[in-house]
Amino acid sequence: MKNIKVLGIGCTKCSQTYQMISETADNLGLEIQLEKIEKAPEIVKFGVMTTPAVVVDGKVVHAGGLPQLSQIETWLKS
């Protein structure tokens, strides 16, 4: 099971990213562990300077702006 974290302080794009990942996993029939991290000190630990950011299995795979659906599908399937 993939462990995915969405990093962001609560902005609209952060919430959209979380929702996009959740919906894509549901559409693909995949079970994931999805978590939203909103506290700045925790976000900084990942070395991220722009949000929303996405961490998959401990690795930052995206930072800044909304990810493309095709990117999300790749993260979930790999």
pLDDT grade, residue 61 (50/70/90)?
very high
Give residue 78's pLDDT. Answer: 87
Taking only Cα atoms into account, the Rg of the chain, rounded to an integer number of angstroms, comes to 11
| Burial 31-66, CB ≥16 within 10 A → b, else e | ebeeebbeeeeebeebebeebbbbbbeeeebbbeee
pLDDT at 57 over 90: yes
pLDDT at 30 over 90: yes
DSSP H/E element including 62: strand 59-63
Structure tokens that stand for 58 in this block: 């401990």
Q: How far apart are CA 22 and CA 6, in angstroms?
A: 11
| pLDDT, average across residues 38-42 | 95
| pLDDT, average across residues 10-35 | 97
